[in-house]
Amino acid sequence: MGEESGAKIRSYSTSSQVVSKVIKLLEAGNMEEASELYSHCQEDIGFVLMGKSPRERAFQAKMAKMFFTAKDYEKAAMVLEANGEHKRAAELYERTDMYEQAAEMWLKLGDSSRAALNYEKFGNWAQAAELYSTVKNYAKAAYCFEKAVNHFLAGKYYMEIGKFQKSMELLQKVQREDNAFLEATVLIGDILAQHNYLDIAEIKYRSVIRTLLIGPDNIIIYYKLAELLEKKGELHEAAALYKQIMQVDPAYKDTEARLAACGGGGEELIEELTEEEPEEELEIITNVQSLSEDVLAKSGVDHPHPAKQKNQIVSMMDGFEFLKATPLFESLSLSEMKRLFTICEVKLFKPSAIIIEQFQQGRALYIVKNGTVTVQRVDGQKVTDLVKLPTGACVGEMSLISQSATSARVIAGPQGAEVFEIRRDAFDELLSSDDKIAIKLYKVFIETICDRLRKTSEDLAAAKAKPN
């Protein structure tokens, strides 16, 4: 095929040399060159740079901007955070999926809702739930408490938003040894009574008090049962319970008035109140963020110095800036681009050499680094040139997501072609190890397919509109 393999060219420097040069470029205001030099380092020298950089406000602002330009949003956020720019730091932490750090920034800004959202994304369900409850977002609080396996609070907040069936399911999971058991029982009884299931509510209360002598800690259950019996018209039993309650706490709620309303009596608590009853369950049918790009500003206070690191060898990635500028990959961050670069191979094709053969299963994506390529349609012995593609063009991208045969032949141009090759097997391995990269790239491929379908439809419509 006239194909020649070529290793990716790298030059090497020490980290100290690169850091010193980046600092000088920033001091001179040469932001673009500083960003490019920093981006081309395959190893991460960001922490070393932060540790050796001048503390002046103006320089810190330049360094944050350089990190942002290089798409190293994590380092940009760290610089902004250390310099008190909590809002911009929070937005960048969100952008790089560092949700816990973002949540801490929003808390410092007093934005509990945004902090809760980030704790939720991070998976700190308990902290998210607590914050959601403070801002009265009870639906989110219920969901997060459920994820945190806090059955009581999840049930309580589901009840608050009217999801009674869900509330009952969770509240009934609260164990007797749990400190919230009695309160959970009260809520279950309230739900049952609210839906006019008084008998089942009574059974629930009796199942609890039969094992508890009345006292200050559980008096609420006795009161709820008495209130329920009163509502059912069983005044003698209700009065007996109200009297017991008054013996423990004469001023408890409105017990004295309720006892009077029951007509007194009930000198002894009848045996039925403590008889064991089976618990029953009730099935109640119920109804059942953009980020600001403006993240750069003046900054000033010191950020913590990282631990001193040894001077290391830094490899410079030839062609990295070119690859990063490819539209297919523009949504990737710096660290993601570096991972993608590691699976790229440089291939050299002689003039007219076949890069992709028509009707064969595609095996790789090719990005033209130097030279041109020509797309051809092969029909038997007839070969038709369809389009000539320049440096920067991509061909074969569908091979990365489909095992279908290719629809055209691609050959190197008159001067040959140097291309980046991304093989399907290496690409699949990268995606399987990083869901975030996978989502971003699949989204781009879907948009590419949609664009091609749209163009094909437009071409067909134009062809039909032409007079015969």
Contacts with 157 (C-beta within 8 Å, 6 or more apart), sequence order = 133, 138, 139, 141, 142, 145
User: How far is it, in rounded angstroms, from Cα 106 to Cα 117?
Assistant: 10
Q: What is the mean pLDDT of residues 446-458?
A: 78
Residue type for position 4: E
Return the minimum-mean-pLDDT range out of 1-15, 317-331, 397-411: 1-15
Q: Are 289 and 117 in contact (CB under 8 A)?
A: yes
Residue type for position 386: L
Tokens (6 digits) for 287: 């109804």
Q: Where are the domains of the chain?
A: 164-274
What are residue 399's phi and psi, to 5 degrees?
Answer: -65, -25
For position 131, what pLDDT does the model report?
A: 96
Tokens (6 digits) for 424: 């399907």
Q: Give the model confidence (pLDDT) of 302-312 as tens digits.
A: 444 444 556 66
User: How far is it, in rounded angstroms, from Cα 460 to Cα 301?
Assistant: 61
Query: 68 — alpha (psi -120 to 50), left (phi > 0) or beta?
Result: alpha
Instruction: Reply yes or no on whether the pLDDT at 459 is more than 60.
Output: yes
Instruction: Reply yes or no on whether the pLDDT at 236 is more than 80.
Output: yes
Please tell me the pTM assigned to this model.
0.65
Residue type for position 360: Q
**Domain 164-274 class, CATH top level:** mainly alpha
**Closest alpha carbon to 236 in 213, 204, 270:** 270
User: How far is it, in rounded angstroms, from Cα 281 to Cα 441?
Assistant: 49
- Helix, strand or coil for residue 85? coil
For position 150, what pLDDT does the model report?
A: 95
Residue bearing tokens 């020649």:
4
Tokens (6 digits) for 17: 């040399």
For position 282, what pLDDT does the model report?
A: 43
Q: How far apart, in Å, are the Cα atoms of 217 and each of 18, 187, 213, 220?
A: 68, 16, 10, 8
Q: Are 266 and 236 in contact (CB under 8 A)?
A: yes
Tokens (6 digits) for 278: 């089976």
- Give the number of C-alpha atoms closer than 13 A to the C-alpha of residue 327, restricted to the C-beta side: 10
Q: Angle 112-122/138-147 helices, nearest 10 degrees?
A: 30
Q: Using alpha carbons only, give the angle 141, 143, 146 rounded to the nearest 5 degrees.
A: 105
Which position has the higher pLDDT, 449 or 163?
163
Contacts with 405 (C-beta within 8 Å, 6 or more apart), sequence order = 358, 359, 360, 361, 362
Helix (H) or strand (E) holding 313: strand 313-317
**Closest alpha carbon to 292 in 114, 166, 41:** 114
Beta bridge partners of 240: none
Which position has the higher pLDDT, 247 or 293?
247
User: How far is it, in rounded angstroms, from Cα 416 to Cα 150?
Assistant: 66
- Helix, strand or coil for residue 164? helix
User: How far is it, in rounded angstroms, from Cα 245 to Cα 234?
Assistant: 17
Task: Name the CA dihedral angle for 235, 238, 239, 240, rounded to a multiple of 10 degrees.
Answer: 130
Instruction: Reply yes or no on whether the pLDDT at 183 is more than 80.
Output: yes
Q: Are 365 and 427 in contact (CB under 8 A)?
A: yes
Computed over its alpha carbons, how large is the radius of gyration of the chain?
A: 35
Instruction: Reply yes or no on whether the pLDDT at 33 is more than 80.
Output: yes
User: Of 11-15, 146-150, 201-205, 335-339, which one has max mean pLDDT?
Assistant: 146-150
Contacts with 263 (C-beta within 8 Å, 6 or more apart), sequence order = 235, 239
Instruction: Reply yes or no on whether the pLDDT at 296 is more than 60.
Output: no
For position 341, what pLDDT does the model report?
A: 87
User: How far is it, in rounded angstroms, from Cα 424 to Cα 432?
Assistant: 12
